[in-house]
Structure 1
């Protein structure tokens, strides 16, 4: 692929704008030698204003979504994509969120331009576990953990029971919930089904990948070994990870 097309696909501008960057001598190799538009260069060797290029196609970002921000390209209000450099919103293929967190939920959100990887993560057949920290309005029912793990809980308006989910209770109003499916507002509806209301919901892990200490609103690219962690907890047979419920009041 030509340098001109590569830079345009990475969002550095339209072809005309990229051509102007090249003509101005701002695009060079790693040694500072100017490059021309039809150059076919090794991605890692290209510099713009002395800086390495953004990652090539296959980019996966970890973002700490703050509350009040929407996972959308065009809804009203603050959007997750505005937390990224403007050129990231011009990449081809585009960056898409891997699933969604609702406006009032914070925590780990993945974005990628790799459609196959996106589908692999969200596929209902893979049951990739997602872990949430939950703050509740009322004390938890004593049987909540057992009910969530039973595989019999039926949400209002649905006909199929939920898969078993693991609930670890930290204190009567704080818990950690691990889900292996992604129904609409599932965590909030589960607690509503046991007579409670979620005050705060924060996703801290997907598979074995953890958000860690990444600040709210911050983001970073993931390395290949980190992407592999998404599926590291996916190999356990049904009924092993799902049934691991601990409770302490």
Structure 2
């Protein structure tokens, strides 16, 4: 009896070891030939025209490729050879560049209150205290994700990066595009892209306070910690009452909490903050939480202001159909092909 038990245990151990070595080998191949795996037709089907957050997270965990790089690859994953978003419509490489003009997504969202402008990751977790208690101890089971602007995007609008941010308690116009050059130039100080905010403030709205609201603000850059001074803001009183006023502020830069810091320096308490315009873009009657693609004229104006009109093709149409979710069977079949090609 004992020899049979020993033999069975040995067989079970050998099978478990073989299974572990097999899984390890497959994981190593997936990481070593990550972009070959991403270019597999069965995997590419879940990347075109844009992948879901679940698909991107699964592929990132499997291949070790950063989620941002997977999204960039997906923008050009047509024939498995194009891994950069500015290679539009599957254009082949030509000395590292494409002869076609790049094509991108452009749309605006009417951001609601209570959501943050970033992707859903660990940095959006927040502590949720138990009602009636003042317990500040860190407890991971009492943390939850804060909703992001990407959670509420309408169907057919891809989760491309936003141009700048609006904080959790600010609503209004938020521009989204995968055109990195345009984003960089719009956010650069002195770009000429003015942002118009409407503030509901409480306090004594005197001429001196309004003058302080429009004066330049001393700030430091985020990375180099260099001291800078912002350009003066333009201020206009929309309405005024005994308790406060509604003020319109136009700034040409986008420093961290710039408008709120200007209001605090002027002695105002901000009750509500709303961005109603950004350069030539307006919300008009767009409902809260809704999104709309930019018109060709709006895209052309933005590109002309940034000197990119000759380098861009027509914008990609919106909305688009989302790519299907990645399945385990598709991944296993793609890895099987890797094993056969790289024994």
1:102 counterpart = 2:167: yes
Local SS of the residue matching 1:67: coil
1:213 counterpart = 2:285: yes
Structure-1 separation of matches of 2:295 and 2:45: 21
Structure-1 separation of matches of 2:246 and 2:304: 26
1:207·1:229 contact (CA, 8 Å) conserved in 2? no
2:195·2:279 contact (CA, 8 Å) conserved in 1? yes
Partner of 1:113: 178
Structure-2 separation of matches of 1:6 and 1:124: 40
Please give the per-residue CA displacement for 1:27-48, whole angstroms capped at 9, x wherever unaligned.
Answer: xxxxxxxxxx97xxx97xxxxx
Structure-2 separation of matches of 1:149 and 1:99: 22
Greater Cα shift, 96-105 or 79-88: 79-88
What is the aligned length?
A: 192
Local SS of the residue matching 1:8: coil
Deviation at 1:217, TM superposition (A): 0.3
Q: Residues 160 and 115 from structure 1, CA distance in 2 versus in 1: closer, same or farther, beyond 3 angstroms?
A: closer
**Where does structure 1 lack aligned partners over 5 or more consecutive residues?**
15-36, 44-55, 235-249
1:60 counterpart = 2:129: no
**Where does structure 2 lack aligned partners over 5 or more consecutive residues?**
1-40, 56-77, 80-87, 90-101, 125-144, 221-225, 307-343
From the two aligned structures, give the one with the greater strand fraction. 1
Local SS of the residue matching 1:81: coil
Please give the per-residue CA displacement for 1:211-244, whole angstroms capped at 9, x wherever unaligned.
Answer: 111000000111231124447889xxxxxxxxxx
Structure-1 separation of matches of 2:232 and 2:170: 22
Partner of 2:234: 166
Please, what is the CA RMSD of the aligned residues? 3.5
1:82 counterpart = 2:124: no
Structure-2 separation of matches of 1:114 and 1:6: 23
TM-score scaled to structure 2, two decimals? 0.49
Q: Residues 222 and 167 from structure 1, CA distance in 2 versus in 1: closer, same or farther, beyond 3 angstroms?
A: same
Please give the per-residue CA displacement for 1:9-65, whole angstroms capped at 9, x wherever unaligned.
Answer: 312677xxxxxxxxxxxxxxxxxxxxxx97xxx97xxxxxxxxxxxx9510110000
Q: Residues 146 and 85 from structure 1, CA distance in 2 versus in 1: closer, same or farther, beyond 3 angstroms?
A: closer
1:10·1:88 contact (CA, 8 Å) conserved in 2? no
1:73 counterpart = 2:119: yes
2:117·2:165 contact (CA, 8 Å) conserved in 1? yes
Partner of 1:26: none
Partner of 1:176: 248
Partner of 2:60: none
TM-score scaled to structure 1, two decimals? 0.65
Deviation at 1:117, TM superposition (A): 1.2
Greater gyration radius: 2
Structure-1 separation of matches of 2:234 and 2:305: 13
Deviation at 1:86, TM superposition (A): 6.7
Local SS of the residue matching 1:203: strand
Deviation at 1:171, TM superposition (A): 2.4
From the two aligned structures, give the one with the greater helix fraction. 2
5 Å-filtered alignment, 1:1-249, equals: 8-11=47-50, 57-74=103-120, 75=124, 76-85=145-154, 88=157, 95-151=160-216, 153-154=217-218, 160-172=228-240, 173-230=245-302
